[in-house]
Amino acid sequence: MIQRIKRAYLVTAYCVSWLWFALVGLGLNIGCIFLLPLPNRAGRGKGVRAAIRVLFDLWVKWFHASKVVSVKWIGFNEPLKPGTVFIANHPTLVDATILLARLPNTVCIFKPSLMRNPAIGPAAIMAEYVSGDAGVDVIRDAAAKVAEGCSILIFPEGTRTAPGKLPAVFKPGFALIAAQAGAPVQLIIIRATRDLAARGRPWWKAPVVLPGKIEITLDRRWEHVEERHASVLTAEVEQRVFEVFRTAES
């Protein structure tokens, strides 16, 4: 009986978490709609990114307070350096949200269709996130942001990892951005409860295992090396990721 009551509470709190996320996100985007026509919009990006970081951090703290999901940070004791290409594996739908709660002055890459979505697009535009599907233009725009001192968050798999599988092959876009910007690459390893907002599972459906757990580790860093080809860096990063997860399986 006690276990059923506990499960009912956790499922309810999980659903409330998403409701809160949706309502706050909607409010943020409505506010940004009124900011879009204002002059000097380009100068407001850093402030909007800071606001997004605060709101996402509050959401992560809610997870802790409600005991729905515990988030553990490993290796994040020192301040993170600006102008970094942050990359991570991608097991859950909330990876970007949780990382952006911790990474300072960081932009993402949004698909053009998401930028046009009135529910999330205005905040992304005001935050000066990079828009594009792929190609030279996206790499150029992202590298320009990093060269200006922003950091960028990229999931090189391009989609969420299939539950129970090793991360997929990494796409080289992150390495091309780092090379063009002359920026370091910082790997982040994410481990999460297997069915927590996982690929192929409805985001609103509570995980079988609650409370859930997310562990985020600041892993290896690659400093910029002028003569290193992007394909070499991609292979080195991919090898490190597979090494981490294969070691965990053994």
| CATH code, domain with 124 | 3.40.1130
Residues of the chain short of pLDDT 70, as ranges, are 133-134, 248-250
DSSP code per residue over 79-146: PPPSS-EEEE---STTHHHHHHTTSTTEE-EE-HHHHT-TTTHHHHHHTT-EE-SSSHHHHHHHHHHH
What radius of gyration do the chain's Cα atoms show? 18
pLDDT of residue 165: 86
Which of these, 148, 151, 130, lies nearest to 139 by C-alpha position? 130
Tens digits of residue pLDDT in 199-208: 888 888 899 9
pLDDT of residue 218: 97
Q: Number of folded domains in the chain? A: 1
Burial bucket for residue 78 (CB in 10 Å: 0-12, 13-18, 19+): exposed
Residue 202's φ and ψ, nearest 5 degrees, are -55, 135
Instruction: Please tell me what DSSP assigns to residue 31.
Output: H
pLDDT of residue 42: 73
Give the tokens for residue 79: 């301040």
SS3 (DSSP) at 160: coil
Burial bucket for residue 109 (CB in 10 Å: 0-12, 13-18, 19+): buried
Separation of alpha carbons 224 and 218, rounded Å: 18
pLDDT of residue 132: 76
Q: pTM (2 decimals)?
A: 0.93
Domain ranges, residue 157? 2-249
Tens digits of residue pLDDT in 90-125: 999 999 999 999 999 999 998 888 888 888 899 999
Q: Facing residues of 72 across strands?
A: 215
Q: Are 60 and 71 within 8 A, CB to CB? A: yes
Long-range pairs for 19-25 at CB < 8 Å and ≥24 separation? 20/59, 20/62, 21/59, 21/97, 24/55, 24/59, 25/119, 25/120, 25/123
